[in-house]
């Protein structure tokens, strides 16, 4: 962080003892500063709570007077195979994308860390896919996926037969786009982590004649673990609620091959105007995300404490 | 940069270096090819758009079409207006987020107070909340109170994207700022408020700039909020781009690519300018870098 000039002392002529602020008012200071943000939180939480409430109503655009129906929506949706298909698709997507992006991201970070000329040039452009809107990434890839006119089949020599967004391939194609967009995210996080590591343990083990792989596995990976975990948490959470590029590429199709939970909720609430159904989907998704987040954040806390301890 | 010391595990002249560079090259072909292809497609004529040629005479007419009334006829969205809408919404959301987020981030970075962790984690949880959970009720509410398809409505809901980013990034900047500097100012007779404005704020200025620009990118790139909460009057670019895909049953690949390129340019330029700060921003200060 850059430092600026120290504060000028006020001119003696105007210097007065500042009126002491009573202790109780000083204690309130952080609360007062947080009030606007808390108000915004409340303003956003209100529709959120309302959305949760919808899950317990029979609310649809055609229903004039929604009434409380308890857990009936949950019972209906939890016994609906389409919901479980969505859960399976979402988990398939999230696990595959997170694993591939983490492995590739670590690999790219290690390659860039060598600080060669090519590496330094590539580091500048690494993040470009990450910075364009996922929906636009979806649009671009959609143009390339087209079996007849798309450039992918042409470049890869697949003729016009390979259907990227077909029944069995669509899920992998949308994962491929996710990998394209978000692998740089993992890579820059891990790279920053590698560069913040202390050098002494590596120098010491190099003197002892340790191999590169040994150092990577026994030194770098354990010390890097908190960084990797942060990347995994962000990726996995985001994948669970994936929408943008999948929606523009397949809209959940073909059939329900890529109908993730958010797309299912969109179809229920916005297309079919079944607000309750969509909200129930989202309520369940939110519960999944919340519980996963709680678990992963506790793992992260442990890892950070361990990493901090090992540096002493 | 060239004289930077080698970090752990780095070797400049290892024999595996060539292989490693080759591996990097493969990734970058994969990574940049879609962007290059988008540019090429955007420069092709209607007749060439379904071809997979790499060599052709480039034309800028697609950009003109996208921005003209011809583009509006195809998509029923005025793309120039869409750009303006995106700018208004994103700048508006970022300004509101800064005004309310900086004090909150300062409070959270300086003091541990009762409930501070709860407030911070509630804000962070926005980051991971499924958007539709909030949008469905907002869709109903906005339709009732007339905020549907308005800039004010979009600015309000974009807080969900921009606020957590700004508060969490700036909190970590305020935490890193030595408290002694402010205390020195207080000893010199500054009031708390003056110490904040004259000492703390200038010190985190780079953080504020980076957080604001990153929040701008995220807001600009958002798709699902405007998809559901705007109609044809205040459509932002992310939604407008997709309109070219199905225009009148006919595909306009070259126009789509041109529109996508225009929409992607501001975030790309901003990102290149704040690259140094990206790690901290993207991880919301969870790992300080």
Q: Chain A closest CA to B275's CA: distance in Å?
A: 8
**Torsion angle of alpha carbons B14, B18, B22, B27, nearest 10°?**
20
CA A214 – CA A210 distance, rounded (Å): 6
CA B187 – CA B179 distance, rounded (Å): 12
Q: Nearest by CB to A122, which of B28, B127, B138?
A: B28
Partners of A108 in beta bridges? none
In which residue ranges of chain B is pLDDT below 50? Answer: 1-4
A178 touches chain B (CB under 8 A): no
- Whether the pLDDT of residue A2 is over 70: the answer is no
What pLDDT sits at residue A212?
Answer: 80
Report CB contact under 8 Å: B271, A293.
Answer: no
Report the complex ipTM: 0.87
Q: Tell me what percent of chain B is helix, strand and coil, each rounded to the nearest 5.
A: 70, 0, 30
B139 and A289 Cβ atoms separated by less than 8 Å: no
B257 and B90 Cβ atoms separated by less than 8 Å: no
A86 and A261 Cβ atoms separated by less than 8 Å: yes
What pLDDT sits at residue A211?
Answer: 82
Retrieve residue B136's tokens: 């469905």
Q: What is the arithmetic mean of pLDDT over A24-35?
A: 75
Q: Nearest by CB to B203, which of A4, A43, A48?
A: A4
Q: What is the arithmetic mean of pLDDT over A6-28?
A: 58
- Count of H-run helices and E-run strands, chain B: 15, 0
Q: Which residue has the tokens 């200071």?
A: A29
CA A49 – CA B39 distance, rounded (Å): 44
Residue B163 neighbours by CB under 8 Å, 6+ apart: A37, A40, B97, B100, B101, B123, B126
What pLDDT sits at residue B180?
Answer: 84
Task: Write the Ramachandran bin of A47: left for phi over 0, alpha for psi from -120 to 50, otherwise beta.
Answer: alpha
What pLDDT sits at residue B274?
Answer: 87
Q: Nearest by CB to A127, which of B23, B116, B278?
A: B278
Q: Residue B222 CB: number of other CB atoms within 10 A?
A: 28
How many angstroms from the chain centroid is the CA of residue B53?
A: 33
DSSP classification of residue A7: P
DSSP classification of residue B114: T
CA A14 – CA A208 distance, rounded (Å): 66
What pLDDT sits at residue B252?
Answer: 81
A209 and A254 Cβ atoms separated by less than 8 Å: no
A291 and B125 Cβ atoms separated by less than 8 Å: no
On the 0-12 / 13-18 / 19+ scale of CB atoms within 10 A, B224 is: buried
Residues in chain A closer than 8 A to B263 (CB atoms)? 133, 136
B280 and B75 Cβ atoms separated by less than 8 Å: no
Model pLDDT for residues A174-226, shown as the tens digit of each residue = 999 999 999 999 999 999 888 888 888 888 888 888 888 888 888 888 888 88
CA A259 – CA A246 distance, rounded (Å): 9
Residue B233 neighbours by CB under 8 Å, 6+ apart: B149, B150
Q: How many residues does chain A have?
A: 312
What pLDDT sits at residue A1?
Answer: 43
**pLDDT-wise least confident of A8-12, A271-275, B253-257:** A8-12
B36 and A225 Cβ atoms separated by less than 8 Å: no
What pLDDT sits at residue B3?
Answer: 42
CA A59 – CA A277 distance, rounded (Å): 8
Report CB contact under 8 Å: A37, B167.
Answer: yes
**pLDDT-wise least confident of A116-130, A276-290, B3-17, B81-95:** B3-17
pLDDT band at A150 (very low <50, low <70, confident <90, very high): confident
Residues in chain B closer than 8 A to A116 (CB atoms)? 12, 17, 20-21
pLDDT band at A7 (very low <50, low <70, confident <90, very high): low
Report CB contact under 8 Å: A215, B21.
Answer: no
DSSP classification of residue A57: B
pLDDT band at A19 (very low <50, low <70, confident <90, very high): low
Residues in chain B closer than 8 A to A308 (CB atoms)? none
Q: Nearest by CB to B188, which of A9, A47, A275?
A: A9
Coil, helix or strand at residue A149 = coil
Q: Smallest Cα–Cα separation from B168: which of B133, B218, B130?
A: B218
- What are the two backbone dihedrals, phi and then psi, of residue B68, each rounded to the nearest 5 degrees? -100, -175
B158 and B219 Cβ atoms separated by less than 8 Å: yes
Q: Smallest Cα–Cα separation from A141: which of B160, B119, B109, B37?
A: B37
B187 touches chain A (CB under 8 A): no
Q: Which residue has the tokens 């999944």?
A: A288
Q: Which residue has the tokens 């930077």?
A: B4
pLDDT band at A260 (very low <50, low <70, confident <90, very high): very high
Taking each helix axis from N to C end, the angle separating A170-196 and A134-145, rounded to the nearest 10 degrees, works out to 130
Q: Which residue has the tokens 């959301």?
A: B93
Residue B218 neighbours by CB under 8 Å, 6+ apart: B161, B162, B165
**pLDDT-wise least confident of A16-20, A238-242, B180-184, B222-226:** A16-20
Retrieve residue B10's tokens: 């780095």
DSSP classification of residue A62: T
Q: Please confirm whether the linkage preceding A254 is cis (ω < 30° from 0).
A: yes
CA B260 – CA A172 distance, rounded (Å): 23
pLDDT, mean over chain A = 84
CA–CA distance from A139 to each of A70, B87, B243 (Å)? 41, 21, 10
- What are the two backbone dihedrals, phi and then psi, of residue B44, each rounded to the nearest 5 degrees? -95, 155
What pLDDT sits at residue B272?
Answer: 87
């Amino acid at each position: 962080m850059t430092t600026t000039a120290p504060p000028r002392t006020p001119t003696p002529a105007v210097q007065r003892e500042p009126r002491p602020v009573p202790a109780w008012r000083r204690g309130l200071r952080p609360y007062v500063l947080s009030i606007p943000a808390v108000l915004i939180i409340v303003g956003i939480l209100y529709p959120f709570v309302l959305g949760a409430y919808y899950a317990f109503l029979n609310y649809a655009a055609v229903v004039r007077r929604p009434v409380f129906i308890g857990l009936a929506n949950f019972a209906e949706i939890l016994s609906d195979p389409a919901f479980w298909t969505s859960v399976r698709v979402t988990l398939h997507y999230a696990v595959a994308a997170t694993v591939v992006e983490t492995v590739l991201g670590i690999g790219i970070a290690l390659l860039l860390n060598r600080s060669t000329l090519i590496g330094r040039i590539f580091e500048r452009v690494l993040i470009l896919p990450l910075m364009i809107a996922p929906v636009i990434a979806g649009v671009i890839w959609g143009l390339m996926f087209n079996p007849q006119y798309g450039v992918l089949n042409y470049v890869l020599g697949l003729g016009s037969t390979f259907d990227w967004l077909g029944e069995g391939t669509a899920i992998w194609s949308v994962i491929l786009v996710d990998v394209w967009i978000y692998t740089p995210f993992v890579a820059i996080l891990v790279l920053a982590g590698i560069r913040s590591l202390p050098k002494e343990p590596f120098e010491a083990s190099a003197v002892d004649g340790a191999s590169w792989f040994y150092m990577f596995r026994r030194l770098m990976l354990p010390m890097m673990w908190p960084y990797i975990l942060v990347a995994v948490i962000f990726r996995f959470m985001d994948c669970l609620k994936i929408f943008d590029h999948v929606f523009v590429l397949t809209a959940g199709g073909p059939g329900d091959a890529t109908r993730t939970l958010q797309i299912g909720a969109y179809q229920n609430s916005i297309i079919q105007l079944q607000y309750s159904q969509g909200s129930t989907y989202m309520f369940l998704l939110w519960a999944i995300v919340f519980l996963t987040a709680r678990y992963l954040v506790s793992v992260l806390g442990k890892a950070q404490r361990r990493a901090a301890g090992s540096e002493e | 940069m060239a004289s930077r010391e080698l970090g752990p595990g780095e070797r400049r002249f290892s024999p595996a270096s060539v292989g490693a560079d080759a591996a990097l090259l493969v990734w970058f072909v994969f990574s940049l090819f879609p962007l290059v292809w988008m540019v090429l497609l955007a420069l092709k004529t209607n007749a060439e758009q379904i071809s997979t040629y790499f060599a052709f005479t480039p034309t800028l007419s697609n950009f003109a079409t996208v921005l003209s009334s011809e583009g509006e006829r195809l998509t029923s969205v005025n793309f120039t207006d869409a750009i303006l809408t995106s700018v208004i919404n994103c700048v508006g959301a970022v300004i509101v987020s800064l005004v309310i987020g900086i004090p909150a981030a300062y409070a959270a970075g300086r003091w541990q107070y009762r409930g501070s962790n709860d407030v911070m984690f509630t804000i962070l949880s926005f980051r991971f909340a499924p958007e539709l959970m909030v949008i469905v009720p907002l869709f109903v509410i906005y339709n009732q109170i007339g905020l549907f398809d308005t800039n004010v409505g979009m600015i309000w809901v974009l807080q969900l994207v921009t606020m957590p980013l700004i508060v969490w990034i700036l909190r970590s900047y305020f935490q890193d700022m030595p408290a002694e500097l402010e205390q020195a100012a207080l000893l010199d007779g500054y009031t708390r408020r003056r110490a904040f404005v004259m000492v703390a704020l200038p010190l985190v200025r780079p953080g504020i700039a980076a957080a604001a620009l990153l929040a701008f990118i995220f807001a600009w790139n958002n798709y699902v909020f405007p998809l559901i909460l705007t109609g044809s009057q205040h459509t932002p670019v992310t939604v407008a781009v997709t309109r070219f895909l199905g225009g009148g049953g006919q595909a306009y690949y070259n126009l789509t690519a041109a529109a996508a390129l225009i929409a992607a340019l501001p975030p790309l330029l901003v990102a290149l300018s704040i690259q140094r700060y990206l790690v901290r921003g993207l991880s919301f200060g969870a790992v300080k870098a």
